Chain A
Amino acid sequence: MALLSEELKAWIGREAHYPAREELGRASIRYFALALGDDNPLYVDDGYAREAGYPSLIAPPTLICETCQYAHRPPDEDGYIGHQWKLPVDNCRLIRAGNEYEFMRPVLPTDRISVTWTLEDIIERGRSGGGTQLFVSSVARFRDAAGELVAVNRETIVYQPLA
């Protein structure tokens, strides 16, 4: 049976918007750098960052693409609060295939970052072991308080039917 039903195709083009709830904040930046074991002074030292040409300390580039700070709701049964489509697909394992990030400028602790997710496409492809699986492509656009684009994250998740 085809996985890509008409019901599922109707999801293509859907959007979900998460408005900024606060500034990104110095604590979020320092915490992220600590978690990575990254001692780059650009992420904690204003003086160093200014000397390098930035208005203040900056966030590690991938932070805003990785954090779920934009979300504000209780964790689901698996503990997750970030964006997910919750597509009507049963008995599938979700596997991250890849991410493509594009960065327009460094993000500052004072930035208020809103996120809009768009479900761009769903493709059904054959699997090497037989059967098919779904490739779900989404794009997240990150904008500052002025509405300027600061980063884009294109993400592909594979929905693989469980045996």
Chain B
Amino acid sequence: MIRPTKTLQDILSGEKLPALEHTFTLVDLVLYGAATWDWNRMHYDIEHTKRLNLRAPVIDGQEFGAFFARAALEWAGPRALVKRLAMRMKAMAFAGDTLRAEGEVERIRDGAVVLTQRLTCGERLVAEATTELRLP
């Protein structure tokens, strides 16, 4: 049996999403690079990133979009669809960093729920997103 999906009637403005946290190891970065056909050395080559004066391989910023979408859909359920996801990068994040996605319901508009999401590494804001979901 499938998990239930939220409906607009279930949702309150300001409602918080469960936090999603993950430590991005170098293996995770290699996996993501391979899975997205993106072999940019920034994301796994330690010597290369040292030459660029970076402290470690850089997490691909596009992966934050997948992480925001996952946090939103885990909260909303299997019949929810992401209609829009607009994210703004605020800081780089690196292999070994633990990132935490948090968010809340900003408003309900035209039959869709609009979420505000943040990705942080400790006190550091890494990215923000506005995510719109269509619910059944």
A61 to B88, CA, bound (A): 18
Contact pattern, A 52-84, Cβ under 8 Å of B = 1, otherwise 0? 110000001111011111010001001111100
A79 adjacent to B40 (CB under 8 Å)? yes
A60 adjacent to B35 (CB under 8 Å)? no
Which residues on A sit within 8 Å (CB–CB) of B74? 40
A75 adjacent to B87 (CB under 8 Å)? no
A66 adjacent to B65 (CB under 8 Å)? yes
A97 adjacent to B84 (CB under 8 Å)? no
Which residues on B sit within 8 Å (CB–CB) of A102? 83-84
Shortest Cβ distance from B61 into A: residue: A96
Cβ < 8 Å to A, chain B residues 4-52:
5, 22, 28, 31-32, 34-42, 45
Which residues on A sit within 8 Å (CB–CB) of B2? 48, 51-52
Which residues on B sit within 8 Å (CB–CB) of A87? none
B38 adjacent to A95 (CB under 8 Å)? no
B39 adjacent to A79 (CB under 8 Å)? yes
Contact pattern, B 61-98, Cβ under 8 Å of A = 1, otherwise 0? 11101110110011000110111111111000000000
Cβ < 8 Å to A, chain B residues 80-125:
81-89
**Size bracket, chain A contacts:** 35 or more
A-B contacts, 22 of them at CB < 8 A, read A34-B35, A36-B63, A37-B22, A40-B74, A51-B1, A52-B79, A53-B136, A60-B66, A61-B73, A61-B82, A61-B85, A62-B82, A63-B66, A66-B63, A66-B65, A68-B36, A71-B37, A78-B41, A80-B39, A99-B87, A101-B82, A103-B82
9 more contacts with CB within 8 A, not counting A32-B36, A35-B34, A100-B85, are: A35-B32, A36-B67, A37-B22, A38-B66, A52-B79, A62-B85, A67-B36, A68-B37, A69-B37
A: residues with CB less than 8 A from B are: 28, 31-32, 34-38, 40-42, 48-49, 51-53, 60-63, 65-69, 71, 75, 78-82, 95-103, 105-106
5 nearest CB pairs, A to B: A35-B35, A68-B37, A79-B39, A35-B31, A100-B86
